[in-house]
Amino acid sequence: MIDVYTWEPNANSGKPLLGLREKNLAFTHHYVDMGKREHHAPDYLKINPGGTIPTVIDNGYKMTESTPFLEYMDDAHDGPSLVPSDPYEAWRMRWWCRYLDRDICPALAMVASNALAAPMLAGQTAEQRKEALDRIPLPERRRTWELLYANATPKSEIEESQRRISACIALMEETLSKQPYLAGASYSLAEIVALITMYGWPLRDDVGEAATPHLWLWFKRCLSRPAYKATFDKANAFMGGRAKDARAKLGLAE
Amino acid sequence: MLELYHWEPNLNSGEPIIALKEKGIDFTSHYVDVQKFEQHAPAFLKLNRQGQVPVLVHDGKVITETTLMLLYIEAAFPQPSLMPKRADDRYLVHMWSKYADEYLAPAIAMLGWHQVTYPKIKAQLPAARAGISRLPPERQAVWQLALDDAYTNEMLEQARSRLDVRIKRIEEQLAASRYLAGDSYSLADIMIYPAARSFASVVPDLVTPAKTPRLFEWLDKVGSRPAVRATLAMARTPAPEQVFAPGPEVPRWG
């Protein structure tokens, strides 16, 4: 019995949704609406006092870190193996997971939330902001939301994030020119961590058949997987739509 | 052929040394003097362009990222096992891996450099400036801040609050189990131990017999292991837990 408390198939909140489907494991998705900030509301804080999503409960055992959960899922359950058996390939998989989680996903989140969320939040009153910030348990998260509310992320920081995203695209292209998947010969947890954040990348101007041919083929291979489609078919209109547009641009059948 | 490039047996460098000694594996030790900036020498940067220790070279394969290196050592040299027997405890190893590298290491390195090391070696720092130009931009930024000791009060306060959250998590875990990932000693303890030895130097008010009695008990227990004692005996400075260098970047967003 696996219960997943999370939002949409997007970034950390999406990792267990895609991971569990790749592993062919049944689960119940308890929807936590991040748009309504339900992850900072009392009901959810009873489940995870840290106020982060996802939370996964497997047979009574609670986990709140998304990439460590993927390791657990692969380790504890039968199903297709998603961690390479070769020690060096397993290290490479973890290297990618760590690099994406630590360096790239925050850069993408900074760029996206400043472009999308900050203008929307700007309309709120000071009291509304204070009330919302006071509900965020972890100090580092509170700081991020404070910057967003104030629309105060320095421009140089956003440019640095964009530089990192470009460097990541180049590194993926180089890696995938030598091997079909990030860790080596087979699809692994590194793909799950990458794709759940990058599913819209085929729509980017700097990703394409001509500019990044090996990355393009990797997207084709990965986004045609049944688990991927099943995950995004259940997504909300915005994310599901982007995933659909990305598949169409790759020339994949619906 | 197994070679380890490392500094003092402290934060980061101490971890793989303990793991290899626990497993009784011989390795060639290459001491890299970080306070002489040897990690920025061109020859070392060929090994790891980030200019960070430790680096493990196993039959020509270059392994970086401290706690992922420990998981590699476990996979490549499974006996005696340093992974817990239960899958839910193994989840905790992956969780501590993330906490060690992303929260503890950057915060301890920043506070330790600012409070302890910078005042002592200020005069030698002009020699370091040439070397940092050879680093990738994100590492240059970390070093630039350190060489100028330009941390803002907000950055230092955030580092303290990150440590506060995780020190409480350690204490809480040690109330639930004898070690950090269950009732037996594992990689999780090795991932945290060298960092935990430095808590008293960087945040003395957060670790006291009244606040963190279990942490102290655990430090004694782990510190009495022969492999840990042999590791600490490799120190070239009288108190390796009190020498610091700019560490990994502080998480930038969220």
Q: Give chain B's length.
A: 254
Assess B85–A contact: CB distance below 8 Å, yes or no: no
- The tokens 């500019």 sit on which residue? A211
Residue in chain B lying closest to A105 (CA): B253
Residues in chain A with CB shorter than 8 Å from the CB of B98 are 65, 67-68, 101
Q: From the list A101, A138, A164, which residue is nearest B165 (CB)?
A: A138
CB-CB contact of B142 with B93 (8 Å): no
Assign A23 to helix, strand or coil.
coil
Smallest Cα distance from A219 to chain B, Å: 26
Rounded Cα distance between B100 and B114, Å, is 20
- Confidence at residue B110, expressed as pLDDT on a 0 to 100 scale: 97
Q: Residue B91 and residue A68: Cβ atoms within 8 Å?
A: yes
Residues in chain A with CB shorter than 8 Å from the CB of B90 are 71-72, 75
- Confidence at residue B254, expressed as pLDDT on a 0 to 100 scale: 63
- Confidence at residue A224, expressed as pLDDT on a 0 to 100 scale: 95
Q: Checking DSSP bridges between strand B28-31 and strand B55-58, what pairing results, if any?
A: unpaired
Closest CA to A141 of A4, A10, A7, A12: A12
CB-CB contact of A197 with A17 (8 Å): no
Alpha helices, H only, A77-203: 87-99, 105-121, 126-134, 139-149, 155-176, 189-198
Assess B63–A contact: CB distance below 8 Å, yes or no: yes
Assess B2–A contact: CB distance below 8 Å, yes or no: no
First to last CA, chain B: 41
- How is chain B split among helix, strand and coil, in percent rounded to 5? 60, 5, 35
- Confidence at residue B68, expressed as pLDDT on a 0 to 100 scale: 98
Q: Please write the tens of the pLDDT for every residue from A152-172.
A: 788 999 999 999 999 999 999
Rounded Cα distance between B30 and B120, Å, is 25
Q: Please write the tens of the pLDDT for every residue from A67-109.
A: 999 999 999 999 999 999 999 999 999 999 999 999 999 999 8
Q: From the list B75, B87, B162, which residue is nearest A76 (CB)?
A: B87
Mean pLDDT by 10 residues, chain B (254 residues): 97 97 98 94 96 97 98 98 98 98 95 96 88 93 94 94 96 98 98 98 97 98 98 97 90 74
Q: Checking DSSP bridges between strand B55-58 and strand B61-63, what pairing results, if any?
A: antiparallel
